[in-house]
């Protein structure tokens, strides 16, 4: 299981390199509508290379969830690795979801104009802009929550946690329910976005816990 860390880091690095090489505008993944200095701007779409990498990210995620469990009973005392793992997971999830979600505005714009383009940008508002933006948001948020919840339900590390060498498990050793995992993911997102303040509340190095773990009866243990 720990060997997946190199695959995850390689894919993330490869995505960043490709996004730099193919940085010509427009390059929006997903959909974006904004007013800047009184001027309207709507952009959206995806890219073939990004879809290919997103498929690779999905394959790695599925393989990781089926890998042999290698958890130990040794707690993870520090929080730095957990904080870093969260942002690695966030990047991994965004690089997976946004190219896929970008197919929606791409198809809508294709049907509206009759001209196919992988990505586009315009300053004229269309009736479909708001529904497409809302739909993209509604697809992204549940996707992020499911991404963080599934590893806890299956008792596996998330891709970011596999890089950091730990995973989150229930105190009693049982599988965490999907409902509890989703709720923990929501609260955990706000906890870790608070930087280095909130995570240190209620910290217990000997048990691998901070206040979020105490609330949901979980702990962080090292991978063998």
Query: pLDDT confidence of 150, banded at 50, 70, 90?
Result: very high
CA distance 91 to 74: 27
To the nearest whole number, what is the mean pLDDT of the chain?
A: 85
* pLDDT tens figures, 3-41: 777 777 787 787 777 767 665 544 678 888 888 888 899
CB 45 within 8 A of CB 28: yes
Instruction: Name the one residue in this structure whose structure tokens are 């997903």.
Output: 30
Average pLDDT, stretch 174-197? 82
Cα separation of 136 and 224, whole Å?
39
33-47, 65-79, 85-99, 193-207: least confident range: 193-207
**What's the number of domains the chain is made of?**
1
Q: Residues 6 or more apart from 110 whose CB is under 8 A from it?
A: 116, 117
Phi-psi region of 8 (alpha: psi -120 to 50; beta: other; left: phi over 0): alpha
Of 47, 65, 62, 25, residue with least CA distance to 101: 47
The token pair at 86 is: 């969260």
Bond before 26 cis per omega within 30 degrees: yes
CA gap 160, 206 in Å, rounded: 22
DSSP letter (8 states) at residue 31: E
Could you give the dihedral angle defined by the CA atoms of residues 155, 157, 159 and 162, in that order, rounded to the nearest 10 degrees?
-150
pTM to 2 decimal places: 0.84
- Domain of residue 143: give its range: 4-223
What is the C-alpha separation between 118 and 101, in angstroms, rounded? 12
Beta bridge mates, 218: 170
């Amino acid at each position: 299981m720990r060997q997946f860390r190199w695959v995850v880091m390689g894919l993330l690095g490869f995505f960043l390199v490709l996004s730099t090489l193919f940085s010509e505008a427009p390059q929006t993944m997903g959909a974006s509508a904004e007013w800047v200095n009184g001027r309207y701007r709507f952009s959206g779409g995806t890219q073939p290379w990004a879809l290919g990498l997103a498929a690779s990210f999905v394959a790695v995620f599925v393989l990781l969830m089926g890998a042999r469990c290698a958890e130990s009973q040794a707690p993870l005392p520090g929080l730095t690795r957990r904080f870093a793992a969260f942002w690695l997971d966030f990047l991994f999830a965004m690089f997976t979801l946004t190219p896929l979600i970008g197919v929606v505005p791409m198809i809508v714009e294709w049907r509206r104009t009759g001209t196919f383009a992988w990505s586009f940008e315009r300053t004229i508002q269309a009736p479909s802009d708001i529904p497409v933006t809302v739909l993209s948001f509604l697809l992204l948020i549940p996707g992020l929550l499911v991404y963080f919840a599934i590893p806890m339900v299956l008792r596996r590390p998330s891709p970011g946690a596999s890089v950091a060498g730990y995973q989150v498990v229930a105190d009693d050793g049982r599988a965490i329910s999907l409902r509890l995992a989703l709720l923990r993911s929501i609260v955990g997102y706000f906890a870790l976005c608070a930087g280095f303040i909130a995570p240190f509340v209620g910290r217990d190095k000997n048990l691998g816990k901070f206040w979020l773990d105490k609330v949901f009866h979980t702990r962080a243990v090292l991978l063998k």
